[in-house]
Structure 1
């Protein structure tokens, strides 16, 4: 159910990383406080009208489309564009997030959507101003900067979106934290009041 004032949007969850620093573990299936990282990401995009997960298929609580990025292990930009192609319908905006950011919420996505108005998209930034893999992008502007298939391989998200006017949205609490290592996972369990 879409909140009043929020236009229909699609969400792309990037879950196709190799998890190298986690010994090759499938990040989407890692559990935090009894819920998988994928379930947490799906919670964050609960307002989305359609969801594509770029990664291996696993059971989910809501209907989603699974797709593997093309080219395989081509990186987040290739994953985003593969996810874009897998959408059944075209929406004015796309929410894009990494599966390993367990502190994202629907409120995060709402703030990104609000900030994207009058821009070509919005991106979440941490206290130091670093951009993280949580975006809202206007679909037409993403399509306009799309490179050829060969160029997509190993292209960074920064390079793909370099020409877009993205509003920067400051994190609230731990929103920008991601899980790249087992230490990160342990820290994610900690009481946020300790941070």
Structure 2
């Protein structure tokens, strides 16, 4: 599959005291590194967030304008650099990013050819739009309809008119929102 990746690493992490959440270590590795490793075969890998070091891949760094304008704006900024047929969109708070990418890649062929993408659902069944694999052309078309390059728009607004399949994969879609989440995942290991 011809796929690139957009990794979202520029949030405020307010529920964690405003720390740099992608740099939080879970199971011995930074959350950002889990995401980079999960998409290591993708080209390009675009990280939307403040630049820092990661091992392995040589990502391209972008930032939404202005910073903290939200994940939809970050996706729009990163799409300017995307030329692959498919685009993984992953928040950098997924300790099981490798599992998420594997489920997404295996799922895409299960749906009709006119499906614009697939995302995972969490344990409650709620779609996790920031754990998805989308047709780049469909994302770009949707992004072009957002005012102000997606500034302060929801990701749901970005994806609203796309045909997206949702796959239940609560373990792979598990994310880190609080310090308690970190503790639980470390204990589950």
Whether contact under 8 Å (2:51, 2:61) holds in the other structure is yes
Could you tell me which residue of structure 2 aligns to residue 187 of structure 1? Answer: 184
Say if 1:112 and 1:190 are closer, same or farther in 2 by CA, change over 3 A.
farther
Instruction: Please give the residue correspondences for 1:21-170 in structure 2 after superposition, counting only pairs within 5 Å.
Output: 21-61=15-55, 62-87=57-82, 90-105=83-98, 106-115=101-110, 118=113, 119-132=115-128, 133-146=130-143, 147-150=145-148, 152-170=150-168
Distance 1:130 1:163, change over 3 A: same
- Provide the C-alpha distance between the structure 2 equivalents of 1:117 and 1:43, rounded to a whole number of angstroms: 29
Give, in whole Å, the separation in 2 of the partners of 1:78 and 1:48.
Answer: 21
Distance 2:110 2:78 in 1: 23
> Which of 10, 14, 18 matches 2:8?
14
Deviation at 1:27, TM superposition (A): 1.1
Contact 1:44-1:109 within 8 A present in 2 as well = no
Runs of 5+ in structure 1 lacking a partner? 1-6
**Cα contact 1:115–1:122 (8 A) shared by 2:** no
Q: Distance in 2 between matches of 1:30 and 1:24?
A: 12
State how far apart, in whole Å, the 1-side matches of 2:80 and 2:158 are: 16
CA contact (8 A) 1:31 1:37 kept: yes
What number of residue pairs does the alignment pair up? 183
Stretches of structure 2 lacking an aligned partner (at least 5 in a row): none
State the TM-score, normalizing by the size of structure 1: 0.87
What SS does the aligned partner of 2:84 have? coil
